[in-house]
């Protein structure tokens, strides 16, 4: 996990509004948390028996992972409450690099403009390139640069929302950092996780990265316009995905040609409907 890949070593993410080219500091959080990144996870922890976890590297990693995820879950709950209070649908888009997430977002924004109010939180390690592409559609967007981080976390999203200021009863699309491992492990407070796989990847990805596909509610198989030119087996990929997650909904789409996008838009429309109040 991230304590071993090094992305939780205390580096601060940058939140930038590309329209103003400024970077948000800690005073622009959307929530009144004491956000301090993952720094707390670097404290020493001791077990009840007096055994210092530092004497056993495997146990130390486990404790660090638990501390990071526990803190993240608390902040994710705050994000979720913030979304619920405002009637905002938050969708977390996750995939490997190059699956077509940004192209899908561009097409979705243009096709649904005037029907569903959309805004975007872009996650990348560096650059404003994807945020500028989204901004060119006329959509409100903020860029979160994670530096060495390989995923967005709930704290980063909370800071991004403070700059984005999405309107009530709208949709926030979160484009996570391209990575098929860590993003699946970090709850952001979103209502749904969508996994995107392209036909230029291996059909066995769901078996190789089961946590990602197990976490997803919907899998979009993108770039189906390229099927005549690749050896990707859509049926086999869907079978592998359902071995990992039997309830996973699967849609085949082409973000460039438009195939299957009506079903994707219907999925968004359904998700954006007001949720019934939960009974006590």
Average pLDDT, stretch 34-55?
Answer: 41
Do the Cβ atoms of 96 and 181 come closer than 8 Å? Answer: no
Mapping DSSP to helix (H, G, I), strand (E, B) and coil, where does residue 70 land?
helix
DSSP labels, 5-20: HTTTSSPPPEEEETTT
β-pairing, 218-222 vs 192-198, is parallel
Q: How do residues 113-123 score in pLDDT, each as one tens digit?
A: 889 999 999 99
pLDDT of residue 48: 41
Residue 23 to residue 74: CA distance in whole angstroms: 25
pLDDT of residue 39: 36
pLDDT of residue 6: 53
Mapping DSSP to helix (H, G, I), strand (E, B) and coil, where does residue 111 land?
helix
Q: How do residues 229-257 score in pLDDT, each as one tens digit?
A: 999 999 999 999 999 999 999 999 999 99
pLDDT of residue 66: 67
Do the Cβ atoms of 152 and 144 come closer than 8 Å? Answer: yes
What's the predicted TM-score (pTM) here?
0.81
Token pair for 229? 């030119």
Measuring CA to CA, which residue among 75, 62, 7 is closest to residue 35?
75
Helix (H), strand (E) at residue 240:
helix 234-244
pLDDT of residue 235: 98
Residue 4 to residue 52: CA distance in whole angstroms: 19
What confidence category does residue 130 fall into, taking pLDDT thresholds of 50, 70 and 90?
very high
- Percent of the chain exceeding pLDDT 70 equals 78
What confidence category does residue 75 fall into, taking pLDDT thresholds of 50, 70 and 90?
very high
pLDDT of residue 137: 97
**Residue-range domains of the chain with CATH:** 70-272 (3.40.50.300)
What confidence category does residue 26 fall into, taking pLDDT thresholds of 50, 70 and 90?
very low
pLDDT at 215 over 90: yes
215: left (phi over 0), alpha (psi -120 to 50) or beta: alpha
């Amino acid at each position: 996990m991230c304590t071993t890949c090094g992305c939780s070593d205390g580096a601060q993410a940058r939140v930038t509004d590309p329209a103003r080219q400024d970077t948000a500091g800690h005073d622009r959080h959307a929530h009144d948390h004491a956000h301090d990144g993952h720094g707390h996870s670097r404290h020493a922890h001791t077990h009840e028996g007096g055994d210092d976890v530092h004497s056993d590297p495997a146990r130390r990693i486990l404790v660090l992972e638990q501390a990071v995820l526990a803190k993240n879950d608390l902040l994710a709950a705050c994000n979720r409450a913030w979304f619920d209070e405002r009637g905002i649908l938050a969708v977390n888009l996750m995939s490997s690099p190059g699956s077509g997430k940004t192209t899908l977002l561009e097409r979705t924004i243009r096709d649904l403009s005037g029907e569903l109010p959309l805004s975007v939180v872009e996650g990348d390690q560096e650059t404003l390139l994807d945020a500028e592409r989204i901004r060119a559609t006329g959509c409100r967007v903020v860029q979160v640069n994670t530096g060495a981080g390989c995923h967005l976390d709930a704290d980063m999203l909370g800071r991004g929302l403070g700059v984005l200021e999405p309107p009530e009863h709208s949709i926030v699309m979160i484009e996570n950092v391209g990575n098929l491992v860590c993003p699946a492990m970090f709850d952001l407070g979103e209502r749904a996780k969508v996994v995107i796989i392209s036909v230029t990847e291996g059909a066995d990805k769901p078996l190789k990265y089961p946590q990602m596909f197990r976490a997803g509610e919907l899998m979009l198989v993108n770039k189906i316009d390229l099927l005549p030119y690749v050896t990707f087996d859509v049926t086999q990929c869907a079978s592998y995905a359902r071995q990992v997650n039997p309830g996973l909904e699967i849609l085949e789409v082409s973000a460039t040609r438009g195939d299957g996008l009506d079903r994707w838009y219907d999925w968004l429309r359904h998700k954006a409907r007001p949720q019934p109040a939960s009974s006590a």
